[in-house]
Amino acid sequence: MQRYISFFFVLLIGCSACSKAPEQVPQSSAQSTPVEHNDGTMNIVLTPEQVRVAGIVLGLGEERSMSGNITAHGMLDVPPQNIISISPHVGGFIQSITVLEGQFVRKGDVIAVLEHQDYIALQEEYIATKSKVDFLETEYKRQEILQKDNINATKTYQQVMAEYYALRGRVAGLEQRLRMLGMRPADVLKSLVSSTYTLTAPMDGYVTKVLTHRGKFNAPQDIICEIVNTDHLHAELMVFEKDVVRLRPHQQVHVRLSNVVEEQSAEIYLIGREVTQDRMVRVHVHLRGESKNLMPYTALTAVIETDAQRLWTVPTQAIVSSNGKEYIALARAPHHTDSLRVEFNIVQVERGISTGGFTAVTLPGGIALPDSIRLAKIAIQGAYALVSHAHNSGATHDH
């Protein structure tokens, strides 16, 4: 491609030269072949007409406040406390399941109804133990009165007291187990014994997984479903290790989701302290103006704004890549003795931060540009043809 462009460029220059009368464009004033000077620079000399025909547009570089944006990828996530895996406190068979994946549920809504004979046994044990503790309470108080009057043996009193407190603790434990199953101890004492146990939603959220069905036995460690509360979605980004030193909390982040047109505004909240095997660091980002329509685990791309700094920049389109190197074409002022000549000096540069259509540039090795380059006009359009022509002529030098 470079060969074709260079050929076209030379042909274009030749045509423009032929369109003029010989007396208007002296032969010595237009040279399309790169000329190497004593200082090692490489120039291409054109006439103003050749510049116009070649479509070369000149402009100036400028010092700008540039923020070194960092691009990262990640996904929407939810805090661990907003994800709940629901399992039965006591194993049982699924009698009914009332939720589907994607369904929104509120705290207290019925998730499933389980059935097992162990539920009946638990209630029976509570009724029997509660009756015993009521009897022992009466006996304990009687023994306490006798002990004060030194009528009974101390050993008898202590034995009754120990049994009473042990049984009372047993009753408290059984009541807690009943409440975990959604049963009221007072109702159980009224002989309202049930063989089923209702599992309810512990918080508002969306059902993301349903892992059971009717008739299946679920042990206490088996997950029946998962619920995710999406009120506080955040972005989890993976940033390259080398870029982490430029990050700090509260930096602005622009997030673009794969399934949402509008860009989301966010800021850095936490920066991870662990480097993965891929030399990446996890960065926790909070979204502004959260929407319940966003879905967890959605892929996203984020641009992080780092601290701004004053840098010398040129329009990005003025930088030309050739053979793995970057170049700009500087237009020297016409010679005062010959106003029909324009020199273009091809200079190798290194790219820096890019934003807003401008890119920071330095000389190779990060050396700041001298004033001779900063004050010169730059080929904003047509630079590719100039650099390609110089390169294909084997005359481009590094500076």
191-237 per-position pLDDT tens digit: 788 899 899 999 999 999 999 999 999 999 999 999 999 888 899 99
Do residue 122 and residue 175 come from a single domain? yes
Do residue 287 and residue 347 come from a single domain? no
Q: What is the pLDDT of residue 339?
A: 58
Indicate the residue among 307, 323, 354 that finishes a domain: 307
Strands 196-200 and 57-59: what pairing? Answer: unpaired
99 part of a folded domain: no
Do residue 318 and residue 275 come from a single domain? no
Do residue 186 and residue 240 come from a single domain? no
Do residue 295 and residue 316 come from a single domain? no
Do residue 34 and residue 76 come from a single domain? no
222 part of a folded domain: no
Range of the domain at 131: 117-194
Q: Would you call 9 exposed, middle or buried from its count of C-beta atoms within 10 A (0-12, 13-18, 19+)?
A: buried
Instruction: Say which range, 111-115, 174-178, 388-392, has the weakest mean pLDDT.
Output: 388-392
- Compare 47 and 303 and report the one with higher pLDDT: 303
- Compare 74 and 243 and report the one with higher pLDDT: 74
- Compare 316 and 37 and report the one with higher pLDDT: 316
Cα atoms found within 13 Å of the Cα of residue 15, Cβ hemisphere only: 9
Where residue 298 sits, what CATH number does that domain have? 2.40.30.170
206 part of a folded domain: no
Q: What is the pLDDT of residue 263?
A: 85
**What's the number of domains the chain is made of?**
3
Indicate the residue among 261, 284, 307 that finishes a domain: 307
Distances (CA, A) of 281 to 242, 258, 272, 297, 338: 10, 22, 6, 18, 60
pTM, full prediction: 0.56
43 part of a folded domain: yes
Do residue 361 and residue 325 come from a single domain? yes
370 part of a folded domain: yes
What are the backbone angles phi and psi of residue 265, rounded to the nearest 5°? -90, 140
